Amino acid sequence: MKQITPLAVLLVKNKMNAAFILTLFLPVAFSLLAQEPLAAPWKHQDIGAAQVPGSATQTAGVFTLKGTMDLWGTNDGPHIASQPWHGDAEFAARVTAMDNPGGVAHAKASLCIRESLAAGSRHVTMCVTPTDGTQFLYRDATDGKTVRVHPDAEAQKTSVPKGQFPCWLKIVRHGNEFTGYESADGEKWQRSGAITLDLPVDAVIGLAASSHKPDILTTVTFDHVMLSKPSHE
């Protein structure tokens, strides 16, 4: 049987090979170390059957998500970083950047409260797109259609300029009352919409990225992610 020389022995015997191999592999190793796993209780996954797998990393409070598909129609397909949550919630984050390699209007960076991680789950979502601006969405029946809540005329006048980043998003839940907000600075919040929806007390809350394309990933970065009970509790 042929004996395989250990890599360490080869490196010692040939300094040139050692330098060459280290040049190749050290950048990869440092890149992997820089992409920290999500801190518990955060976990990430694709929702639905992704043609191209998404990803999520967390470094120094910055979440970077890559996802395909959409949060729309009767079946969702983004990549989501989520955690279980009980009861009322105030969930906010700043979207610092997102690309749009598919060149479509409906790529989304989203904050979601979902019944589950099933593709047809009931949900409430506050999102921003690279061209359409912010949207407040919901699905009130399992496998039903997602609907957009259109802001009133006054809200449209004061909304964050479309396609401008950074952009702050927030969802507040009080019982079965859900309200979506947007902000340019994280201080002055503009209501984007509200809905009454019968979601379970034990739900899933998360950040999501979707490209509106099955075979193209969009990259979204979030920071200042804040999740807590509303101040009335």
Q: Output the pLDDT for position 33.
A: 36
Q: Output the pLDDT for position 213.
A: 95
Q: Model pTM?
A: 0.83
Find where tokens 């801190």 sit: 39
Q: Output the pLDDT for position 22.
A: 33
- Number of other residues whose CB lies within 10 A of the CB of residue 103: 11
Q: Output the pLDDT for position 162.
A: 83
Which structural domains are found in the chain, ordered by start?
1-34 (no CATH), 38-228 (2.60.120.200)
Relative to beta strand 218-228, strand 62-67 is antiparallel
- Number of other residues whose CB lies within 10 A of the CB of residue 83: 13
Q: Output the pLDDT for position 131.
A: 87
**What separation in angstroms does the CA of 134 have from each of 25, 95, 116, 183, 193?**
42, 11, 23, 10, 10
Q: Output the pLDDT for position 105.
A: 84
pLDDT in tens for each of the 233 residues of the chain? 445 444 444 334 455 454 443 343 333 333 333 446 899 999 999 999 999 999 999 999 999 999 999 999 999 999 999 999 999 999 999 999 999 998 888 999 999 999 999 999 999 999 999 988 999 999 999 999 999 998 766 556 557 888 889 999 999 999 999 999 999 999 999 999 999 999 999 999 999 999 999 999 999 999 999 999 998 64
Q: Output the pLDDT for position 9.
A: 40
